[in-house]
Structure 1
Amino acid sequence: MLIVAGHLRVTDREKYLDQCKAVVEQARATPGCLDFSLGADLLDPDRVNILERWSTRAALDAFRGAGTAGDLDAQILSADVAEFTCDSEAAL
């Protein structure tokens, strides 16, 4: 399993998240997507938290393509996002 986690800093968080609704829907409908979530940080007004879980590298690559573009890309001030590999999990 691959986990993508981190955060973005954006110019207008509400606008950014509203425009990302279609991206989240598309990701969750992609074969191999186990979870995909973007959300407003509770403390920082310009921060968007990211959590993705993918079954395989191929599934992630098929969805990711060239990444963000256009208006979404222009709204990102900075990104601190990392990818992690995981070979086991335990339900809590």
Structure 2
Amino acid sequence: MVGTVMIIVAGHVQVAPEGREAYLRDCIAVVNAGRAADGCLDFAISPDLVDPGRINIHERWTARPELEAFRGSGPPPTQQDAMLAIAVEEFEVAEARQ
């Protein structure tokens, strides 16, 4: 990826442990839409293996305009209401190695 910038969105959200499975079910459409969006290289929302209230977020995008077009106004109110804490950041990567 020399000469281009990739955007990585990574982090986690906290939800009530008893509500995690429902939250993840509600995210299936978001994951499908993200993976189908222009500029999306990877999109995953998954349960943490050791924390029953943690949901891990990982996205890779070719450029900011595509990410912002997909993001729109953010998660629907039902998902926003379920989030107890959010720790998600964006990173601009100028170089990647395999």
Normalising by the smaller structure, the TM-score range is over 0.9
TM-score by length of 2: 0.90
Structure 2: runs of 5+ lacking an equivalent: 1-5
> Equivalents in 1 of 2:32, 2:85: separation in Å?
24
> Equivalents in 1 of 2:76, 2:43: separation in Å?
19
Aligned residues: CA RMSD:
0.7
Deviation of 1:26 (Å): 0.3
> Equivalents in 1 of 2:15, 2:95: separation in Å?
33
Deviation of 1:28 (Å): 0.3
The sequence identity of aligned pairs, in percent, is 47
Structure 1 ranges of 4+ moved more than 3 A: none
Which protein has the larger Cα radius of gyration, Structure 1 or Structure 2? 2
Counterpart residue number, 2:97: 90
Structure 1: runs of 5+ lacking an equivalent: none
Deviation of 1:69 (Å): 1.9
Equivalenced residue count is 91
